[in-house]
Chain A
C-alpha cells in the first residue's frame, strides 16, 4: 500500500505544519512516511506544496501522481489537477473557511478520518503543536465532517521522522564537534537550525560576516585545537574556495558540508540538484587531496558525517559531505539505528606550532627551496594512500535490489530513495556510490559483470558518469538525467527505467 497526498497552498498557510502533523499521526499508528517539500523563494503568498507519501512498508520517495489533494487555496487545485489519479480524493478548504488560520488542521482531521485512523491519534499530535481549544476543535470538526474510506490497521512499526539536515547535525554531535560555522544559504541552513535546536553544551554555532570569514575562522579554530565544520550551498562554497586551498597546504583539519541546489549562480534557490559533484571534487587551486562522500538517506548522513569528521582529523585533511536540497529538506521516517560513532580527541599543541599558506621548512617558516617544495607536495599527496586504506574499513558503496540481476543502475546521493522504490518490480540491482573520493575502484567488477548499465543523476552532464570513465575506464551509455530543480519521483523513474530495461 502506498498513498500520495499533495498538500498545497500559499506560503504562510501552514502547509508544512499539517504535513508534519499527518506524518506524526501516521508514524505513531505504525506507518512509514516520506515528505517532499516544494516551495518557492518567498515568505508569503505564491504557491507551495508538499507531497506526503505514506506506506505500510519502508519508503524513501514519493510519486508524482496523487491519491489525495488537500487544497488550501483554489490555485492548488488548478495547478495539480493533471496529477490526480483516477479515483483521487480532493479535500478543499472552502468547507472550513470560518476556521480561518485553523482550516489546515480541519483538513488534516478530514484526511485522518478518511484513512480510518482513530481520532485520539490525531488529537494527541495536535496537542503537541497547539494546545488550545480552537485548534483542537478545528481538527475535530474536519474529522467529523468526513466518512471513513480506508480502513488502515494499526501496525507495530515505530519509525522516527527525520530530515537530512537533522541527520547531518546528529552526525556532527556524535563526532563531538566543537564548532559549526555558516553564513545563511538555502538549503544548507537547515543544519544550522538543527544544531542550534539541539542547544548542546559543547557544539556551538557562529554566523560570521561572510563565507570567506566562515572558512578562515574555521581554520583558525581547528588550528587552535577544536573540531570544526562549515557549511553552505554552491555559491557560498565558491567563496570558501581560497580557504579550502589553504587547508590543502596548511593541512589544518576541516570538514565542509555542501548542500547543492541548481546553479550556476543563484539558479533556482529553493530546489534541488546534483550539479556540484565536480565542485566538491575540484574546489581549491593547487594539487591536494580530499575526501568526498555523499549520503543518500538520513542514516547514511549520520554515519558519513561522523566518518568524514573523523577522517579530516586523523589525516589533517579536507572532508566534504555532499548533499542537496532533496536530502536536506525531505522528511524521512526511519528506524534510527546507526553505527557507534568514531570519536577522535583533539588538543592544542603544547609546542610552538606554525601553519602557513606558503610552502614551509621543518620549522614552519616560508621556503622557496625547490627540493623542499617537491618534498612537501609529495608528503601531502602521499596521505591519499593512507586515507584510501582507512576508508576500506567503511562502506564505500552499497548494492540494493535483485543482487543476481544483470541490469545495473548506478547513482549517488539523494536519488537513492527514488531509485530503490522505483525498481521494486524491475529486474535490476542498484549500486549507490557513497565515497566519491577516494573512489571505490572495486566497483569495476560489478560493472563488468552487468549486461545493461544505467546511470541516474539529478544533473545535466552526468558528472558521476565522467568520474567513472576517468577512474575505471568504463563508458556508460544509458543515462537518466533530470535537471529541472525537482527530484526524481518514483512513478516517473519506474517508467523511464522500464523504457531501457524492457
Chain B
C-alpha cells in the first residue's frame, strides 16, 4: 500500500459535490505523504484536532491519530496533546465560524503561547453545516438564511489580529490551488512555533456572493517584515469584491516555542 492510501480512510465523504474541502483534503494528504516519505516522519507521529463544522469532517477521512473535539476548541485540545507529547506533529483544522467566534480567545492566546503546532482555518466566510449563518468574517450584507436578516456588522480581519497577537507564522492560501496549499502547508508544519494558515474557500451553497475570487488573488514572496505584513493584511478586508488578496507567507519570525519557555 502506498503512503497516500495509508493515510486515507474508507469513510463515505459527505461534503457537498464540488466543495473545495475535497481539494484541501487532497492537499493535506499530499503534504503528509511528502513528510512521511521525504522527511521520514512516522505516520503515528502526526496528531490532529478538529472542531465541529463541515471542514472538521476531514477527521473522518484521514487515518491519523487525534481528537474530533468540540466546536471552537480545536486549539486547546491540540495544545494539550503537544504539551503532553512533544514528539507529535500536531495539526488542527477549524472553520471560520468556530475559530473566529466561539474559539477566538483560544486563537489569540495560541499566538501568544507559540506552541509548535499548525492551524488550518477553512474560511468560507459563513457557517455552512448549520445551514447559512453569519461568522465574524462574513461580508457585510451577507444574507442570513432562516433569520430573515442581513449581516450589518463589518468583518474582523483575522490576519491583523494575528499580527497584533504576536503570531510567528501567518499564511494565506487558496483552496482551489493544490500546489500552493501543499507548499504553504509544508512550510507551516516545518515552522518552529504556532503556524496559522488561512485557506480562502468558496461555499457553493450558502455564500455564493463571495465565491470565485481567484482572479483577485496573487502570490507574494515569503515576508519577514512586520510593517509590510500589516500592509499585506490590510489589502483585503473580507468585504471587498474587487480588492486584491495576497497569498503566501504574510509574516514569519523566530521566537522561542511554548515548550522551550515552559518550566
Question: Do B262 and A213 touch across chains, with their CB atoms under 8 A apart?
Answer: no
Question: Do B47 and A209 touch across chains, with their CB atoms under 8 A apart?
Answer: no
Instruction: Give every chain A residue within 8 A of B64 (Cβ-Cβ).
Output: 352
Whether a CB of chain A sits under 8 angstroms from the CB of B106 is: yes
Question: Do B70 and A206 touch across chains, with their CB atoms under 8 A apart?
Answer: no
Q: A216-B77, A357-B70 are in contact. Are A352 and B83 (CB under 8 A)?
A: no
**Residue of chain A at shortest CB distance from B103:** A212
Question: Do A219 and B43 touch across chains, with their CB atoms under 8 A apart?
Answer: no
Question: Do B43 and A220 touch across chains, with their CB atoms under 8 A apart?
Answer: no
Q: From residue A372, how far is it (CB to closest CB) to chain B in Å?
A: 13
Question: Do B76 and A216 touch across chains, with their CB atoms under 8 A apart?
Answer: yes
Q: From residue B75, how far is it (CB to closest CB) to chain A in Å?
A: 8
Q: A213-B106, A225-B85, A356-B59 are in contact. Are A220 and B76 (CB under 8 A)?
A: yes
Question: Do A216 and B73 touch across chains, with their CB atoms under 8 A apart?
Answer: yes
Interface positions of B from 48 to 63, Cβ below 8 Å from A: 49, 52, 57, 59-60, 63
Listed stretches A13-21, A92-100, A328-336, A358-366; interface member = A358-366
CA A349 to CA B257, docked complex, whole Å: 25
Interface positions of A from 58 to 82, Cβ below 8 Å from B: none
Interface positions of A from 187 to 231, Cβ below 8 Å from B: 204, 206, 208-210, 212-213, 216-226, 228
Question: Do B106 and A353 touch across chains, with their CB atoms under 8 A apart?
Answer: no
B 65-88 binary contact with A (CB < 8 Å = 1; else 0) = 111111001001111111111001
Most chain A beta carbons < 10 A, residue from B64, B68, B80, B88: B80
Pick from B67, B80, B85, B106: contact of A209, CB under 8 Å: B106
Q: From residue A345, how far is it (CB to closest CB) to chain B in Å?
A: 15
Q: A206-B262, A352-B65 are in contact. Are A218 and B44 (CB under 8 A)?
A: no
Question: Do A357 and B60 touch across chains, with their CB atoms under 8 A apart?
Answer: no
Question: Do A243 and B70 touch across chains, with their CB atoms under 8 A apart?
Answer: yes
CA A85 to CA B84, docked complex, whole Å: 56
Whether a CB of chain A sits under 8 angstroms from the CB of B9 is: yes
Question: Do A220 and B44 touch across chains, with their CB atoms under 8 A apart?
Answer: no
Question: Do B11 and A221 touch across chains, with their CB atoms under 8 A apart?
Answer: no
Question: Do A206 and B83 touch across chains, with their CB atoms under 8 A apart?
Answer: yes
Whether a CB of chain B sits under 8 angstroms from the CB of A414 is: no
Instruction: Give every chain B residue within 8 A of A228 (Cβ-Cβ).
Output: 80, 84
Q: A216-B70, A216-B73 are in contact. Are A178 and B65 (CB under 8 A)?
A: no
CA A204 to CA B83, docked complex, whole Å: 11
Q: A209-B109, A216-B77, A223-B81 are in contact. Are A354 and B68 (CB under 8 A)?
A: yes
Whether a CB of chain A sits under 8 angstroms from the CB of B105 is: yes
Instruction: Give every chain A residue within 8 A of B67 (Cβ-Cβ).
Output: 219-220, 223, 250, 252, 354-357
Pick from A226, A352, A354: contact of B84, CB under 8 Å: A226
Instruction: Give every chain B residue within 8 A of A221 (Cβ-Cβ).
Output: 80-81, 83-84
Question: Do A246 and B70 touch across chains, with their CB atoms under 8 A apart?
Answer: yes
Instruction: Give every chain A residue within 8 A of B59 (Cβ-Cβ).
Output: 354, 356, 365-366
Instruction: Give every chain A residue within 8 A of B81 (Cβ-Cβ).
Output: 220-221, 223-224
CA A224 to CA B49, docked complex, whole Å: 12
Whether a CB of chain B sits under 8 angstroms from the CB of A392 is: no
Question: Do B76 and A217 touch across chains, with their CB atoms under 8 A apart?
Answer: yes
Instruction: Give every chain B residue within 8 A of A209 (Cβ-Cβ).
Output: 105-106, 108-109
Question: Do B65 and A212 touch across chains, with their CB atoms under 8 A apart?
Answer: no
Most chain B beta carbons < 10 A, residue from A220, A242, A365: A220
Q: A213-B109, A348-B85 are in contact. Are A353 and B65 (CB under 8 A)?
A: yes
Q: From residue B106, how far is it (CB to closest CB) to chain A in Å?
A: 6
CA A213 to CA B113, docked complex, whole Å: 13
Question: Do B60 and A220 touch across chains, with their CB atoms under 8 A apart?
Answer: no
Instruction: Give every chain B residue within 8 A of A349 (Cβ-Cβ).
Output: 65
Pick from A213, A224, A246, A363: contact of B9, CB under 8 Å: A363
Question: Do A220 and B68 touch across chains, with their CB atoms under 8 A apart?
Answer: no
Q: From residue B66, how far is it (CB to closest CB) to chain A in Å?
A: 6
**Residue of chain A at shortest CB distance from B46:** A352
Question: Do A357 and B69 touch across chains, with their CB atoms under 8 A apart?
Answer: yes
Instruction: Give every chain A residue within 8 A of B79 (Cβ-Cβ).
Output: 208, 213, 217, 220
CA A123 to CA B115, docked complex, whole Å: 50
Q: From residue B47, how far is it (CB to closest CB) to chain A in Å?
A: 7
Whether a CB of chain B sits under 8 angstroms from the CB of A288 is: no
Q: From residue B146, how far is it (CB to closest CB) to chain A in Å?
A: 23
Whether a CB of chain B sits under 8 angstroms from the CB of A32 is: no
Instruction: Give every chain B residue within 8 A of A219 (Cβ-Cβ).
Output: 67, 69, 77, 80
Q: From residue A180, how far is it (CB to closest CB) to chain B in Å?
A: 12
19 contacts between A and B (CB under 8 A): A206-B83, A209-B106, A213-B73, A213-B79, A213-B105, A217-B76, A220-B67, A220-B76, A220-B81, A221-B80, A225-B85, A228-B84, A348-B84, A354-B66, A354-B67, A355-B66, A355-B67, A357-B69, A366-B60
The 5 closest A-B pairs by CB, nearest first: A220-B80, A224-B84, A216-B76, A356-B68, A221-B84
**A interface, CB within 8 angstroms of B:** 178-179, 204, 206, 208-210, 212-213, 216-226, 228, 242-243, 246, 250, 252, 348-358, 363, 365-366
